[in-house]
Amino acid sequence: MSGRHSPTVRSLRVPGARIHAEVRGSGPPLLMIPGGPQDAGVLADLARRLAEGYTTLAYDPRGNSRSVLDGAPQEQRLEVHAEDAALLVEELGGAPAHVFGTSGGAQIALALAAHRPDLVGTVVAHEPPCVLLLDDPSEVIAHDRLVYDTYREEGVEAAMALFFGINELDGGQEPPQGEEEAATFERVAGNFDYFLGHGLLPLSLYRPDTETLRRNRTRVVLGLGEGSVGRDIHTMGSALARELGSEPIAFGGDHLGFETEPAAFAETLRGVLGPG
């Protein structure tokens, strides 16, 4: 589907950075937020499918890939990411917008919904790594700190190998197919240093403001991968769903289901969001 729904590229100036965004399609606005070190490229296939019914805007979070910081990297702050997302919704127009975020991007989506409920309609948070909602988060926190310490002492390669092992993810080890996928793979790999040094701990240790989300009556849907059952990431999402008093929705695949099973993933997401 690489030739369909080519994006219109936008560059949005925000305090401290310039954000790269890709807009496709027409219909109700849908902001799409990738996770951790990822960028808009990992959501391209999903965005093309959803462009038939929605105006999709996928972007590189500040500091990742083509969203360049003005100065030296700083510790990532969820409130700053949320402010960026709010400005992108306003740029997209037609608020309130649907918002889809995956992994660390789901944490950003939840922060946006808590701080600017006026800008969001339905929020779909796919497998947010909300570690602090585990009954006993100490082991996962220790693992994350071990990854960070390994990065500081041994470098990116050793730390990412440990990260993928701890989080039971495939780590994108399959060779990328095609020029677009290869370019995305290369950009994302170039973000590992920033993610490990400044994003891993803030993104995973953010505790969604469930009290505010309930008070605002924001519609938040937790998406959990069918292939993630039994893993910590599934337990975290289930705990968040319980706190919000909602039933999680099963999505195809595991933590990377939006890439590995994009057709089924898009169908499920459409069902959650409603007709575009």
Full DSSP string of 226-254? GGGTTSHHHHHHHHHHHHHT---EEESSS
Return d(Cα 195, Cα 228) in angstroms, integer.
23
Residue 110 corresponds to which amino acid? L
pLDDT given for residue 213 in this prediction: 95
Report the distance separating Cα 185 and Cα 75, nearest Å.
24
User: Domain spanning 8-273: which superfamily?
Assistant: Alpha/Beta hydrolase fold, catalytic domain (3.40.50.1820)
Tell me whether residue 217 is exposed, middle or buried, using C-beta atoms within 10 angstroms of its C-beta: 0 to 12, 13 to 18, 19 or more.
Answer: exposed
For every one of its 276 residues, what pLDDT tens digit does the chain have, with 9 covering 90 and above?
Answer: 444 578 999 999 999 999 999 999 999 999 999 999 999 999 999 999 999 999 999 999 999 999 999 999 999 999 999 999 999 999 888 779 999 999 999 999 999 999 999 999 999 999 999 999 999 999 999 999 999 999 999 999 999 999 987 554 444 445 566 889 999 999 999 999 999 999 999 999 999 999 999 999 889 999 999 999 999 999 999 999 999 999 999 999 999 999 999 999 999 999 999 875
pTM, full prediction: 0.94
Tell me, what's the pLDDT at 165? 74
Q: Please say whether the beta carbons of 123 and 105 come within 8 A.
A: no
pLDDT at site 167: 53
Residue-level pLDDT at 95: 79
Q: Residue 124's pLDDT is what?
A: 98
pLDDT of residue 92: 83
- Name the residue ranges covered by the structural domains of the chain: 8-273
The full 3-state SS of 22-46, as one line of letters, equals EEEEECCEEEEECCCCCCHHHHHHH
Alpha helices in 155-231, H assignment, sequence order: 156-166, 178-189, 192-194, 200-204, 210-216
Tell me, what's the pLDDT at 276?
58
pLDDT of the residue at 56: 97
